[in-house]
C-alpha cells in the first residue's frame, strides 16, 4: 500500500485527471462543495505538489479545471514514469500497424549484435515484449530498493555514466525466470522502444510524434535527451495538464483515434 500511495502522490506532483463517467454511460453527479474542499486541500499541500486538476465528462468536455501555484494551462509538468505508459501505447499502435506480430515474440530476434549474450544464456533468450511490459524480465536491478536521489539506485547509478543502455540491460545478471517475478526496471521500456524502432524502421522519436502527439495535437512538450542514448522511453517527458487529459480520455474511449486495436491489447492479463 505504501508503494501504491507513493505512486499516486508521484502522479499528483504533475497533474490530476478525473473522468466524471464510466464507459457504460452512467454519469456521476459532481458535488461542488467537495470539489472546493479538494481545491483547498491541494492548495494546503495535503497531496504533495499538485500543479493542475482537470475533470472531464464522458464526452470529453471539461467540467472542472484548476491550476495551482504558479501554474496555468500552458505550463508543462514532468510526467516522470507515466512516459512508460506512452511507450506501451505505441506497442499497441505497432501491433495494429503490423510492425510487430505479437508481444510474446522473444526480443533477441531484434538484436543480432548481442547474439553471443543470448546464445550463452537461454533465460535471457526467452525474454519477450510481454515480460518487458509487465516488468518481469527477470534481470537483477535495484530501482525501487533505493530512493532516486541515491547513487545506489540502479537507474541513477547508470545515468552517472555514458554506458549504452541497451547493452547494459542485456549484460545484467539473471535473477529469476522471465515472467515469474516483478522487478521494476526502467530500462525495460528502453528496450521496448528500441524493438519498436527496429521493427518499424522509424526512430522512436518519430513514432511518438506521428502516432501519438500528432493525432492528439500535442505540440507543447519537453523531452530529456541523453547524448549517448538519445530519448529515454522510461521518463523525461513534460506535458500540459490538457495534453495529459487528452491521453487519459482517449485511452478510455472505445473508438480511440490513435489505435482501434489498442484497447484489446491493453486488457492483456498481467
Residue range 168-225, pLDDT digits in tens: 999 999 999 999 999 999 999 999 999 999 999 999 999 999 999 999 999 999 999 9
CA distance 104 to 127: 9
Order of strands across the sheet that contains 237-240: 76-78, 237-240, 221-223
Q: What confidence tier does 12 reach under pLDDT thresholds 50, 70, 90?
A: very low
Provide CATH 3.40.710.10 ranges for the chain: 75-270
Of 269, 225, 243, 264, give the one whose Cα is nearest residue 92. 264
The pTM (predicted TM-score) of the whole model is 0.82
Q: What confidence tier does 7 reach under pLDDT thresholds 50, 70, 90?
A: very low
Q: Which residue has the higher pLDDT, 265 or 130?
A: 130
pLDDT of residue 29: 64
Look at residue 231 and tell me whether its pLDDT is greater than 90. Answer: yes
Mean of per-residue pLDDT scores for the chain: 85
Q: For residue 99, what are the contacts with CB-CB under 8 A and spacing of at least 6?
A: 196, 199, 200
pLDDT digits (tens, 9 = 90+) for 114-123: 999 999 999 9
Q: For residue 1, what are the contacts with CB-CB under 8 A and spacing of at least 6?
A: none
CATH code for the structural domain at 75-270: 3.40.710.10
Torsion of CA 13, 252, 189, 228, to 10 degrees: -70
**Arithmetic mean of pLDDT, 231-257:** 82
| Range name among 26-40, 71-85, 119-133 with the lowest pLDDT average | 26-40
**Arithmetic mean of pLDDT, 94-102:** 95
C-alpha cell at 164: 549504452
C-alpha cell at 239: 506535458
Of 162, 215, 166, 206, give the one whose Cα is nearest residue 190. 166
pLDDT of residue 192: 98
pLDDT of residue 264: 39
Look at residue 232 and tell me whether its pLDDT is greater than 80. Answer: yes
Look at residue 27 and tell me whether its pLDDT is greater than 90. Answer: no
Amino acid at each position: 500500500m505504501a508503494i501504491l500511495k507513493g505512486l499516486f502522490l508521484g502522479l499528483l506532483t504533475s497533474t490530476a485527471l478525473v473522468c466524471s463517467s464510466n464507459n457504460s454511460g452512467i454519469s456521476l453527479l459532481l458535488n461542488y462543495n467537495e470539489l472546493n474542499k479538494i481545491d483547498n486541500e491541494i492548495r494546503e499541500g495535503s497531496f504533495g505538489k499538485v500543479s493542475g486538476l482537470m475533470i472531464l465528462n464522458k464526452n470529453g468536455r471539461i467540467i472542472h479545471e484548476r491550476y495551482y501555484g504558479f501554474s496555468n494551462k500552458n505550463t508543462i509538468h514532468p510526467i516522470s514514469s507515466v512516459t512508460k505508459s506512452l511507450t506501451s501505447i505505441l506497442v499497441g499502435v505497432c501491433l495494429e500497424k503490423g510492425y510487430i506480430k505479437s508481444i510474446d515474440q522473444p526480443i533477441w530476434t531484434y538484436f543480432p549484435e548481442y547474439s553471443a549474450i543470448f546464445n550463452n544464456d537461454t533465460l535471457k533468450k526467452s525474454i519477450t515484449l510481454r515480460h518487458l511490459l509487465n516488468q518481469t524480465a527477470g534481470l537483477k536491478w535495484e530501482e525501487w530498493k533505493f530512493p532516486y536521489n541515491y547513487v545506489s539506485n540502479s537507474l541513477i547509478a547508470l545515468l552517472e555514466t555514458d554506458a549504452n543502455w541497451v547493452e547494459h540491460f542485456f549484460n545484467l545478471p539473471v535473477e529469476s525466470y522471465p515472467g515469474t517475478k516483478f522487478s521494476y526496471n526502467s530500462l525495460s521500456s528502453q528496450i521496448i522502444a528500441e524493438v519498436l524502432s527496429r521493427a518499424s524502421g522509424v526512430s522512436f522519436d518519430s513514432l511518438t510524434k506521428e502516432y501519438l502527439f500528432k493525432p492528439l495535437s500535442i505540440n507543447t512538450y519537453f523531452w530529456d535527451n541523453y547524448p549517448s542514448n538519445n530519448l529515454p522511453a522510461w521518463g523525461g517527458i513534460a506535458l500540459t495538464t490538457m495534453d495529459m487529459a487528452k491521453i487519459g480520455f482517449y485511452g478510455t474511449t472505445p473508438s480511440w483515434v490513435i489505435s482501434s486495436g489498442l484497447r484489446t491489447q491493453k486488457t492483456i492479463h498481467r
